[in-house]
Chains A and B, each alone.
Chain A
Amino acid sequence: MRTLILRRARAQWPLLAAVLAVVTIGATLLGVCALLVTRTSDRALEVAASRAVPKDTAVTAYTVTIARGDVASVDADTRSVLREAVTPFGSTMAGRMSTEMRPIEAGPQAARRLAYLSGVENLPDRATLVTGRWPRPGAGEAVLLERTARALGVQPGARVRLGKELVRDPAPGLTVTVVGVARAGAGGGWDRDPLEGAGYVPDYRDGSQLTAEAFGPFLMDYRDLLTGGSAVSRLEITAQPDLSVSSPATLDRLRLGVRDADGRLSAVLGERVQIERIASRLPSVLAATARQQRVTSSAVIAVAVLGAVLTAAALRLAGRLTADVRAAESALLSAAGTSRLQMAGLAGAESALLALLAVAVAAPLSSLAHAALTHLPPLTAAGLTADPAVSGAQLLAVVAGAALLFLPTPARSGLARSGADLALVVLAGGAWFSARSEDADARLDLVRMLVPALALAAGCVIALRLAPPVLRAADRWTSRARGLALPLAMSEAARRPRAIAAGLLVTLGCAAATFAVAFDATWHRSQLDQANLAIGSDLVLTLGAPASAGQGDEVARATGGRARPAADRGVSIGQWLGAGDNPPRLVAVRGPAEAPGVPVTKNAALTVTGRATGGHQLSATPQLVLEDAAGLRTACTAPAVPLDGRPHRLPECVPVDGMRLVAVMLPVVAEGFDYDSDRTSRITVDLSVPGGDGWAATSAEPYSGQLTAPAVTAYGSSLRMTADVALGGPPDAARRLVATAFADPGPVPATVSELLARQLSVGPGDQVQMMAGLTAVPIRIERIVTTVPAAPGAAAISTDLDTLSRALLVRGEPQFPIDAWWVTGATDASATAGLHLGDIRTRTGEAARLTTGPVPAALPGSLRLLVPAALLLLLAGLILHVTCDLQARAVEVARLRGLGMTRREIRTTLLGQHTIVLLPLLVAGAAVGAAATWLVSPLLVRSETGGVPVPTVAPVWPWAAESVLLALLLAAASLAVASVVVVQSRRADAAHLRVAS
């Protein structure tokens, strides 16, 4: 047997070499895909972890209300728990704490002026020193924020006496020396400061009924506060693990460690704190990355399955051709008494030998191909460059690919006659319908892995069913020609049963290649669409600290674009807080509406003069709302002003040019409200800005009855506001006069997403109440849309920010709902980072993250591998087919010469015959590829979370790339066929006739 195998191999080496090439290509493709879903996928996780932004990997422990004797131990134990949670990774830690409130022991209103101390590690990284110096340890020194220093009227060198803490078992009073003034930096965590980094709040409530002016923080050395004996109201410690070197196992351990840390912290701290919690986005970020990894792996496996099917088709053809070539030999062996079992053993031994050779070649080849692939975009840009290496999964895949050699060659009757093609179409249809489900479970992932291969194979067998009648029709048509070459070529193509033996491989190869190119384009387009929809504008700057006047111009200058204020936050609609942990999202951006209000010059010296009738001691805390040129509205709160008939200078509220006063709010308080009193006092407050038309006044909710007859008028060069203030009733009830440069806009027109409309059971024309903070705003639904821009797939509501802000102002809410700057036409995104205002996301950056990020990069990589693999398999199969066909017909070709055909005519006939078959098969393959792109690619493209992408996937057929591909394919196939035909026609001489005769 060994002799027979070796001698036959020597005689038929070109045939066996072609079979070996086919199986090697297939096994190599599978090996590379295995490396992509194992080695590259693992590496992608590591790279994604190392590239994660700090806020995504930070682990923060929050503790609330710590007795003064426990602060140091709570700090140490919390750090220990965090250190254990992020094991085995090293980490850096930073703490921040704020003490309980203390009264400021100075001035006539000492009892209502509160302050607190804070310790912030790495303070110079979180704030910028404006003047003075940072505090020294152990010296009782503090730095104030600019606003605090201004509100207190202190400068470096001043000493401030703080009384004992306003808690049970208070720490004694202390004197603090102010040594510097600092400016809060974006991203410095100031939003978690008791006053949210405002520095001063005129109406601070510490949980009691009474309000007070609050100042702070007094920023002291962190270690001083740990041991200084002050009770701490809140302590937070953030651990930042170093993920520069990781592995899937260590990342999983980290995820579990962080997940379980909350319980450990609670157990360790016990009764020493009132509330403790560990918060981190890390587990959800890692889980999201793992989901994205699964999505990518599914798509890569789908590519591998397609490659395997293509290889199987090529081997099926090779098997048939081999059987044809060996038909006589098999008959001879059979006649000589060789049993079927012996024949099968012979074939099996030969296949095993070929499979071993294929594995021996494909294993290192797939390692090299994988390494080469990782050195090409997008994998190289994703940081996934790898050296050649061999893995167990890769070897398994290579062996599986080589094992395709053992697939039985189907009966000569073919797919069509056996009805297997129709069964395949039914199966593909069923899989397609299943894959349309929007679920992202493992079973559907499996279906999605199979759908491309099934759909393409089904499309190809349908096309092959159509090929014979089309060829027969063409045969009838060309038989009218006068010459011999064309009709003979057509007859050979249409009437020879083996003429389209390579049809399945050619069609499938072309379909797979064109589909891969189109799917790549569709996937990229979808990622861009998702990025464009997810990011509201070309550049979105999410603010890490309250916006300040003039900031929009600053952003616009830095980016070279146009900045508009925008809101993007969770809200509640009536009683609806959202499904699960996802509150309805409010997305609002400032439109191009004309700015209302009264122009105010930069650094204008504004004064307030107020009077109250009846000799009552009333005071008001003026809040001016000003709008800058970019449409940002900022509230400037002045210290309380007694309504004593004298003019009082307000602090500088107009820091930049081009501002307009759009609203004034006057919360009015009395020295001592008498709950049972029924007296009122008429107040008149003049603000030294010229009034204008269209101003309106109202009394803010709730308890608007406590302030009646509100009015606003232009009075000389001032804006005069009047109202009657009830001196009885609840002391803490709002007595707030609101004057606005516009009338109440009424219900705010809004667009809502289908999901939110479904959740709320509302439609166009309906009116709902949206809670923006503590203020309820009426919303009228104008339109329902599939998805709200910047909130893809979310239950979201979209309004005009200007109208929303007007509605809020009219209801007494001075804060402008800004969360971000949306910049259109940004030319330099990097310059924005230098402003240190917050997180920056750009559409191009998001698109790059989604397309060339470490986790998704393997998908385009595998598609780019599929295209050459499909072409090589197609060409190998085609050459094999043409060679065998011409060898089998060598005598026939020689007889054509005997008829008087020249070599050129014979070449024309043979080329024509194969081209006539090849062209429609390639066209059919491209058509199947296009159909699969439309039908299948929307099912395969998923969002990074594994869900259906928003917006809906739009299939893309890249005409230019496909045309180039088809031209290349046609050229390569024609060249291959022509080469074989030329060689074979040259051999068609008398020798063949002599043998035959």
Chain B
Amino acid sequence: MTALVSVRGVHRRFGSGPSTVHALRGVSFDVEAGSMVALVGRSGSGKTTLLNVVGGLDRPDEGSVVVDGDEVTGLGEDGLSRLRREKVSYVFQTFGLIPVLSAAENVGAPLRLARTPAADREKRVALLLELVGLSGHAAQRPGEMSGGQQQRVAIARALAASPRLLIADEPTGQLDAETGRSVMALLRAVVESEGVTALVSTHDPVMMALADRVIRISDGQVDA
């Protein structure tokens, strides 16, 4: 299988002088297309920084990141935006839904960014909400839904534009164990059904069990 994501010698530092924090220290790894990889490590180990660098939300100080053939570190602002719009999508720990939009509108947001025709958009939104089991909650706003439901909407939104890579930063971090498990199961299921590659940071052993591969990171380095 070919690698969808290729990370080579990535360094990321924050601050300067004696107080400099080395968040990533020469991280290198590959993620094969269609696989689900769990990124595991303690808080402050550099998981979120690594995900941001892979998704183009942050730039490394050294090293390279290639996603689906695109050298992410070489992309400009517009290129990064296009990358996130077309190839990479996120699921955040705090769900990251837009509070004023309904569940359907949140799911439809990436499709609007892609200027998908309204009819196609509505069809796709309905399909995804059905996929995450929220067909009956389309008109509800995030504030009117439970955490689990919100995360399902976030997953549906992440899948809306049919990305090549789905990055999830501790998607169950704000959920109770049972809800977390169901979200993990959903994530595993949609990775398979949609053929998407997933890079998921987690502390959850269930998630690790569901993953095709587990990458452990500590002190900004990938454990061998």
| Residues of A bordering B, CB below 8 Å | 479-480, 482-484, 487-488, 491-492, 495-496, 891-892, 895-903, 905, 989-990, 993-994, 996-997
Instruction: Name the B residues within 8 Å of A902 (CB-CB).
Output: 77-78, 81
Q: Are A899 and B92 CB-contacts (below 8 A) given A990-B57, A997-B169, A997-B170?
A: no
Instruction: Name the B residues within 8 Å of A492 (CB-CB).
Output: 100
Instruction: Name the A residues within 8 Å of B112 (CB-CB).
Output: 482-484, 487
Distance in Å: Cβ of B78 to nearest Cβ of chain A: 6
- 15 A–B pairs (Cβ distance < 8 Å), ordered by A: A491-B105, A895-B90, A895-B98, A897-B84, A898-B84, A899-B157, A900-B113, A901-B113, A989-B57, A989-B58, A990-B58, A993-B52, A994-B48, A996-B92, A997-B170
From B112, B115, B170, name the one whose CB has the most chain A CB atoms within 10 angstroms: B112
Partner of A993 from the list B57, B86, B115 (CB cut-off 8 Å) is: B57
> How many A-B contacts at CB < 8 Å in the complex?
91
**Residue B34 lies at the interface, judged by CB distance under 8 Å to chain A:** no
Partner of B96 from the list A482, A488, A895, A900 (CB cut-off 8 Å) is: A895
- Which residue of chain A has the shortest Cβ distance to B173 in the bound complex? A997
A492 vs B109: C-alpha distance when bound (angstroms): 14
Closest 4 CB pairs of A and B: A900-B85, A484-B112, A900-B84, A990-B57
Query: Is the CB–CB distance between A897 and B57 below 8 Å?
Result: yes
- Which residue of chain B has the shortest Cβ distance to A997 in the bound complex? B93
**Residue B214 lies at the interface, judged by CB distance under 8 Å to chain A:** no
Instruction: Name the B residues within 8 Å of A479 (CB-CB).
Output: 105
Partner of B81 from the list A483, A892, A901 (CB cut-off 8 Å) is: A901
- With A484-B113, A900-B86, A993-B57 given, can you name 20 additional A-B contacts, CB distance below 8 Å? A482-B115, A483-B113, A488-B109, A891-B94, A895-B92, A898-B57, A898-B92, A899-B85, A899-B90, A901-B113, A902-B77, A902-B78, A902-B81, A905-B81, A993-B52, A994-B52, A996-B94, A997-B92, A997-B169, A997-B173
Query: Is the CB–CB distance between A480 and B118 below 8 Å?
Result: yes
A994 vs B109: C-alpha distance when bound (angstroms): 22
Distance in Å: Cβ of B7 to nearest Cβ of chain A: 16
Q: Are A488 and B52 CB-contacts (below 8 A) given A898-B90, A900-B82, A990-B58?
A: no
Distance in Å: Cβ of A965 to nearest Cβ of chain B: 33
Distance in Å: Cβ of A493 to nearest Cβ of chain B: 9
Mark B94-119 against chain A: 1 for CB-CB distance below 8 A, else 0: 10101111000100011011011110
Query: Is the CB–CB distance between A993 and B92 below 8 Å?
Result: yes
Query: Is the CB–CB distance between B52 and A900 below 8 Å?
Result: no
**Residue B49 lies at the interface, judged by CB distance under 8 Å to chain A:** yes
Instruction: Name the A residues within 8 Å of B157 (CB-CB).
Output: 899
Distance in Å: Cβ of A912 to nearest Cβ of chain B: 14
**Residue B55 lies at the interface, judged by CB distance under 8 Å to chain A:** yes
Considering only residues 155-180 of chain B, those with a C-beta below 8 Å from chain A are: 157, 161, 169-170, 173
Q: Are A897 and B81 CB-contacts (below 8 A) given A482-B118, A487-B112?
A: yes
Instruction: Name the B residues within 8 Å of A996 (CB-CB).
Output: 92-94, 96
A491 vs B105: C-alpha distance when bound (angstroms): 10
- Which residue of chain B has the shortest Cβ distance to A900 in the bound complex? B85
Instruction: Name the B residues within 8 Å of A488 (CB-CB).
Output: 98, 101, 109
A892 vs B101: C-alpha distance when bound (angstroms): 12
Q: Are A495 and B100 CB-contacts (below 8 A) given A898-B84, A902-B81, A993-B57?
A: yes
A901 vs B113: C-alpha distance when bound (angstroms): 7
A29 vs B137: C-alpha distance when bound (angstroms): 54
- Which residue of chain A has the shortest Cβ distance to B101 in the bound complex? A491
A483 vs B113: C-alpha distance when bound (angstroms): 6
Distance in Å: Cβ of B138 to nearest Cβ of chain A: 14
Distance in Å: Cβ of A900 to nearest Cβ of chain B: 3
Q: How many residues of B contact A (CB 8 A)?
A: 38
Instruction: Name the A residues within 8 Å of B81 (CB-CB).
Output: 897, 900-902, 905
Partner of B98 from the list A483, A892, A900 (CB cut-off 8 Å) is: A892
Distance in Å: Cβ of A499 to nearest Cβ of chain B: 9
- Which residue of chain A has the shortest Cβ distance to B53 in the bound complex? A990
Query: Is the CB–CB distance between B118 and A898 below 8 Å?
Result: no
- Which residue of chain A has the shortest Cβ distance to B23 in the bound complex? A994
From A482, A896, A905, A993, name the one whose CB has the most chain B CB atoms within 10 angstroms: A993
Instruction: Name the B residues within 8 Å of A898 (CB-CB).
Output: 55, 57, 84, 90, 92, 96
Query: Is the CB–CB distance between B170 and A496 below 8 Å?
Result: no
Distance in Å: Cβ of B69 to nearest Cβ of chain A: 18
A381 vs B52: C-alpha distance when bound (angstroms): 67
Distance in Å: Cβ of A994 to nearest Cβ of chain B: 5
Instruction: Name the A residues within 8 Å of B82 (CB-CB).
Output: 900
Distance in Å: Cβ of A80 to nearest Cβ of chain B: 87
Query: Is the CB–CB distance between A994 and B49 below 8 Å?
Result: yes
- Which residue of chain B has the shortest Cβ distance to A996 in the bound complex? B94
A482 vs B55: C-alpha distance when bound (angstroms): 26
Instruction: Name the A residues within 8 Å of B110 (CB-CB).
Output: 899-900
Instruction: Name the B residues within 8 Å of A895 (CB-CB).
Output: 90, 92, 96, 98
From B55, B83, B98, B116, name the one whose CB has the most chain A CB atoms within 10 angstroms: B98
- Which residue of chain A has the shortest Cβ distance to B116 in the bound complex? A482
Instruction: Name the A residues within 8 Å of B105 (CB-CB).
Output: 479, 491
- Which residue of chain A has the shortest Cβ distance to B58 in the bound complex? A990
Instruction: Name the A residues within 8 Å of B96 (CB-CB).
Output: 895, 898, 996
A898 vs B77: C-alpha distance when bound (angstroms): 12
A989 vs B85: C-alpha distance when bound (angstroms): 16
From A898, A900, A990, A994, name the one whose CB has the most chain B CB atoms within 10 angstroms: A900
A892 vs B100: C-alpha distance when bound (angstroms): 11
Instruction: Name the A residues within 8 Å of B48 (CB-CB).
Output: 993-994, 997
Instruction: Name the A residues within 8 Å of B84 (CB-CB).
Output: 897-900
Distance in Å: Cβ of B210 to nearest Cβ of chain A: 21
Distance in Å: Cβ of B90 to nearest Cβ of chain A: 5
From B82, B96, B170, name the one whose CB has the most chain A CB atoms within 10 angstroms: B96
Distance in Å: Cβ of A989 to nearest Cβ of chain B: 7
Distance in Å: Cβ of B25 to nearest Cβ of chain A: 17
Query: Is the CB–CB distance between A484 and B49 below 8 Å?
Result: no
Distance in Å: Cβ of B99 to nearest Cβ of chain A: 7
Instruction: Name the B residues within 8 Å of A483 (CB-CB).
Output: 112-113, 115
Considering only residues 63-94 of chain B, those with a C-beta below 8 Å from chain A are: 77-78, 81-86, 89-90, 92-94
- Which residue of chain A has the shortest Cβ distance to B106 in the bound complex? A899
Distance in Å: Cβ of A894 to nearest Cβ of chain B: 8
A484 vs B81: C-alpha distance when bound (angstroms): 14
A496 vs B112: C-alpha distance when bound (angstroms): 21
Distance in Å: Cβ of A777 to nearest Cβ of chain B: 82
A891 vs B170: C-alpha distance when bound (angstroms): 17
A120 vs B173: C-alpha distance when bound (angstroms): 109
From A488, A491, A492, A899, name the one whose CB has the most chain B CB atoms within 10 angstroms: A899
Query: Is the CB–CB distance between B113 and A899 below 8 Å?
Result: yes
Instruction: Name the B residues within 8 Å of A900 (CB-CB).
Output: 81-86, 89, 110, 113, 161
Instruction: Name the A residues within 8 Å of B52 (CB-CB).
Output: 990, 993-994
Instruction: Name the B residues within 8 Å of A897 (CB-CB).
Output: 57, 81, 84
Instruction: Name the B residues within 8 Å of A990 (CB-CB).
Output: 52, 57-58
Instruction: Name the A residues within 8 Å of B113 (CB-CB).
Output: 483-484, 899-901, 905
A486 vs B157: C-alpha distance when bound (angstroms): 19
Instruction: Name the A residues within 8 Å of B99 (CB-CB).
Output: 496, 892
A491 vs B83: C-alpha distance when bound (angstroms): 26
A44 vs B214: C-alpha distance when bound (angstroms): 87
- Which residue of chain B has the shortest Cβ distance to A495 in the bound complex? B100
A491 vs B99: C-alpha distance when bound (angstroms): 10
Instruction: Name the B residues within 8 Å of A496 (CB-CB).
Output: 99-100
Distance in Å: Cβ of B75 to nearest Cβ of chain A: 12
Instruction: Name the B residues within 8 Å of A901 (CB-CB).
Output: 81, 113
Instruction: Name the A residues within 8 Å of B92 (CB-CB).
Output: 895, 898, 993, 996-997
Instruction: Name the A residues within 8 Å of B100 (CB-CB).
Output: 491-492, 495-496
A386 vs B78: C-alpha distance when bound (angstroms): 60
Instruction: Name the B residues within 8 Å of A994 (CB-CB).
Output: 48-49, 52
- Which residue of chain B has the shortest Cβ distance to A895 in the bound complex? B96
A891 vs B97: C-alpha distance when bound (angstroms): 11
A488 vs B94: C-alpha distance when bound (angstroms): 20
A488 vs B101: C-alpha distance when bound (angstroms): 8
- Which residue of chain B has the shortest Cβ distance to A499 in the bound complex? B100
